[in-house]
Chains A and B, each alone.
Chain A
Amino acid sequence: MIALMNVTKSFGKTVAVDDLSLRIEPGEIFGLLGPNGAGKSTSINMTVGLLNPDKGRIAIGDGGSPHDPAVREQLGIAPQALALYDELTAMENLRFFGKIQKMPSGVLKDRVPELLCKIGLWDRRNDRIKTYSGGMKRRLNLAVALIHHPRIVLLDEPTAGVDPQSRHALFESIGELRRDGVTVLLTTHYMEEAEKLSSRVGIMDKGRLLALGRVSDLIASHGGKSRLYAQRADREFFLETDDPMAELVGLQAGGTLLQFKVESPDLEHVFLNLTGRNLRD
């Protein structure tokens, strides 16, 4: 369980996070969606205790503070900036961070190869990671967060700069976390990612939480109408509608449809409707 209660954080005049309240239930995968500078990383950093909020309170697990070592033991974090030692190999990085998480050497001996296989880096395990591609580092960055089987995982932009294949591998890993009942808070500015991975999302902009809820609910309430394009022998149609199927049936009744396209609303539209701007400019 992660709870942020009326949390505010400013850097000088910039209000990075403005009165944010969130509650993430155990076993839930929660996506924080927002454009650059929305305050996602700042929220994550406060959640793990790297930054102290100016106002508000943060509780983790059974209401513990992130400064409490017992609470930290349950936390796994994959920072937005790849936090790895370039001059060490994948194996050494994992082993080092495992030790820092107080894992016994005996346990690490099995856990490290297991993770390396899972993220597809077993063959490269003895190469220094400065020779890795961005996607490979990203995968290792996630593996480091998971080394000690944390119950709560925070992933800041886990798929930034990653090709579709690596992205797929990362999605798989996160899917496994869901199955294992791990609580996940992830940030992203890819709405597909938020839709696919999260049970609930929060949409953030300029430090404020604009909307919060299940993806389908958000789309229903803020996504607007579906767009329908259809072509008949006599004419073409562009429609916005809540019920594209009913519209199509109606159009078909007036003559044979040559082709049609339905564009259902997604989180992109939700964001556009909430802010008047696109998620990515």
Chain B
Amino acid sequence: MNAILAIAHKDLKLLLRDKTGFFFTFFFPIIIAVFFGSIFSDNGGKPVGLHVMIVDNDQSVASEAFIAQLEASDEVSVQRSLKEEAVERVRLGKEVAYIEIKKGFGDAQERMFWGAPPEIELGIDPARRGTAGMLQGILMKYGVNAFQKRFSDPSLMRRSIQDSLDGIQSGSTMDDSRREHLTGFLTELDAYLDQPTPNVDGTGSGNGGFGGMNPLVVTARDVALEKRGPQSGYAISFPQGIMWGIIGCAASFGVSLVIERTRGTLMRLRTAPIDQLHILGGKALACFVTTCVLAAGTLGIAMLFFGIRPNSLVLLGISIISISFEFVGIMMLLSVLGRTERSAAGIGWAVLMMMSMIGGGMLPLFIMPEWMQTVSDISPVKWAMIAMEGSIWRQFSLNELLVPWMVLWGIGSVGFLSGVWMFRRSRSE
């Protein structure tokens, strides 16, 4: 055990001494993740808060005023967009909700006392009940605000009354007795407002109800969140960056064993009174520690600064350990396959690149055509990506993760055992 620790310690020291290697191991993955994440993330990767899309289908003064109110508020921030786009983004979970100001919103607000009330559609995932309620409240508040403003401004009010009277006279959708009552009431009200009224304060008390009048109707539309979509571009790019880091790590540790062989230091280790397995064990341990630190560090940055919220830290931890184990095993095999530094590096990169290319290390798996996703089953990178994405944004349950984990441990074990077998055999040539 001491020999394993000594070798691992030495290898980690060598890694830290090699500035270029250190950079590529620990910073390159982050750079890749941030770079590609920012390309794919239109929302700039900001954690999704109460940011909503707003669709103005009325294009009236009233709708414009309503939007301006929302924009000025600090409860929500809004972004204008077209309906289809808004629905799509909510569905993919890139936005919390959208608000559509229906056509006729302005007219409905003007007439106030009759006809359909102004209408707003709120599109949100039904699971987000709390958020939906909060948004509805906010919308009602601003809708009522507009309503109140009319009451507090006699000239606006009188215009509404006049409009309403006209409408009531010409409209036929109202039964006669109601029409009669309303006409009487509105005429009286108009006469009352005609007198100079000092100090009309609309914000005064007693405005709780508006009789049978509805200041605003918010219809909720369920936009079921596509459960398995990434939260943002960073949720895709960080796992990829980590994957690249781990691949680079496996490749460079694989080459380091070959370097020991060609430089002769392996000869010293092999003639030392230690178990031959300890030589590989020490390397494996160093590689394992490095990949774990790399993955944990990169994820930490993703969580702290890029709004990545893994479904479960425990599951993610197990995934990372499994992935590290897998690639340590692959590293073992690659390191004994290469005879020279060049051939080891060549074989290593060719194999790992291929795995990465078909396994979703470059192109996200869910973008790939169906057949390609099937083919990619043979790539160890794919299972690593599934395990990582499964515990970052795919919301895999423990059961769903068991399969990728088992594949990872399987591949790792096969790599490790065949590496050990070939290492042992290589002595007696």
Q: Give the residue of B14, B269, B274 whose beta carbon is less than 8 angstroms from that of A87.
A: B14
CA distance A66 to B227 in the complex (A): 62
Q: Give the residue of A69, A87, A100 whose beta carbon is less than 8 angstroms from that of B268.
A: A100
Which residues from 370 to 421 on chain B have a C-beta closer than 8 Å to any C-beta of chain A? none
B197 close to chain A: CB less than 8 A: no
* CB–CB A99/B263 < 8 A: no
* CB–CB B274/A83 < 8 A: no
A82 close to chain B: CB less than 8 A: yes
Q: Give the residue of B7, B269, B272, B428 whose beta carbon is less than 8 angstroms from that of A52.
A: B428
Secondary structure of the B side of the interface? helix
Known: A82-B264, A144-B268. A88 touches B273 (CB 8 A): no
Known: A85-B10, A88-B10. A101 touches B267 (CB 8 A): no
* CB–CB B18/A87 < 8 A: yes
Give the size range of B's interface with the partner. Answer: 20 to 34
List of B residues within 8 angstroms of A72 by Cβ: 271-273
A202 close to chain B: CB less than 8 A: no
Which residues from 249 to 279 on chain B have a C-beta closer than 8 Å to any C-beta of chain A? 263-265, 267-275
Known: A79-B264, A83-B264, A102-B274. A96 touches B6 (CB 8 A): yes
Which residues from 101 to 132 on chain A have a C-beta closer than 8 Å to any C-beta of chain B? 101-102, 128
List of A residues within 8 angstroms of B10 by Cβ: 85, 88, 92, 96
Give the size range of A's interface with the partner. Answer: 20 to 34
* CB–CB A100/B6 < 8 A: yes
CA distance A231 to B10 in the complex (A): 66
CA distance A66 to B274 in the complex (A): 12
B2 close to chain A: CB less than 8 A: yes
A77 close to chain B: CB less than 8 A: yes
A186 close to chain B: CB less than 8 A: no
Extra A-B contacts (12), CB below 8 Å, given A48-B271, A77-B267, A87-B14: A50-B427, A51-B429, A52-B428, A70-B273, A77-B271, A79-B268, A85-B14, A87-B18, A96-B6, A97-B272, A102-B273, A144-B268
24 contacts between A and B (CB under 8 A): A49-B270, A49-B427, A52-B428, A52-B429, A66-B271, A69-B274, A72-B271, A72-B273, A77-B271, A79-B264, A79-B267, A79-B268, A81-B263, A83-B267, A83-B268, A84-B265, A87-B13, A96-B10, A97-B268, A99-B6, A100-B7, A100-B269, A101-B272, A101-B273
